[in-house]
Amino acid sequence: MYWQMGYPMAVNLTNKAKNSNAFFVNDFNNSTLQKFVSENNHASKQLTPKALASQSKLIHVREVYLGANGILNGVSKDPKTSKEVAECAKAQGCIMVDAPVSGGTLGAEAGTLTFMVGSETIDYFNLVKPYLQMMGKNIVYCGTNGNGQVAKIANNMLLGISMLGTSEAMNLGVRLGMEPKLLANILNTSSGRCWSSDTYNPCPGVLPNVPAARDYEGGFGVTLMAKDMGLAVQAANESKSTVTLAAVAHQVYNQVGSTEGFQKKDFSSVFKWLNDNAKKF
């Protein structure tokens, strides 16, 4: 089974937090939660985010804010909301740190993730840094609350665009007669090289241990990429920034995510979607 990022992150945290004798967890996926608790003697399942918070001095937030039993209501993943949540948390005598992550499931398993941290002061950043280092390699202070989300949105916008570009380039080259591995090697020793081409290539047969090698199962869902591209376009509208390619990519990922058979696939399945729909363009 291929886990999402939270599971291996939690495993790394419990394995490295040697001085902790209790680890409280909550997740909307009950089967994943049960498996984690059964495999970790120090882990204790909490039924709601609110119950989790009552047991915790330091709260690592994911779904924690959502729902009637959450700490706070109405939270999404954009910089403006992160700042609003920080103000609400401050009014309750709490510290809010936004620490979005990049590196994918492979980075989560290896403990090499990048955390982009926004907090009111660098002292608050230093407070959470030791915990983040248990799960990641690059822990970067981005400035005030919301800036972590700014960095994440910009990074994922570029990732979505580059994956779409890589998919189009690989699709074009293969259809014109190039052998996929040879084409990928040329791209990766030339100016077209990017993470999407050399580490996460979307064309089956080019790389092992990537979603393209297992029919695009696991990894980062195409619907999540569509959501992140939407956040980028929204942020661009609010800041009056021009994001022409992001707007097009947002439309494409939305189409991929709404196509039968693609809803639960990794976002690199855009390569297969382009290939399947070639005659429609």
The catalytic residues are 152
Closest CA to 161 of 191, 194, 210, 185: 194
Helix (H, G, I), strand (E, B) or coil at 188: coil
Task: Please give the Cα distance from 99 to 12 (Å, whole number).
Answer: 17
CA distance 215 to 213: 6
> Are 196 and 217 a contacting pair, CB within 8 Å?
no
Q: Is there a contact between 31 and 39 (Cβ–Cβ < 8 Å)?
A: no
The whole-angstrom separation of Cα 109 and Cα 95 is 28
Supply φ then ψ for residue 140, to 5 degrees: -115, 125
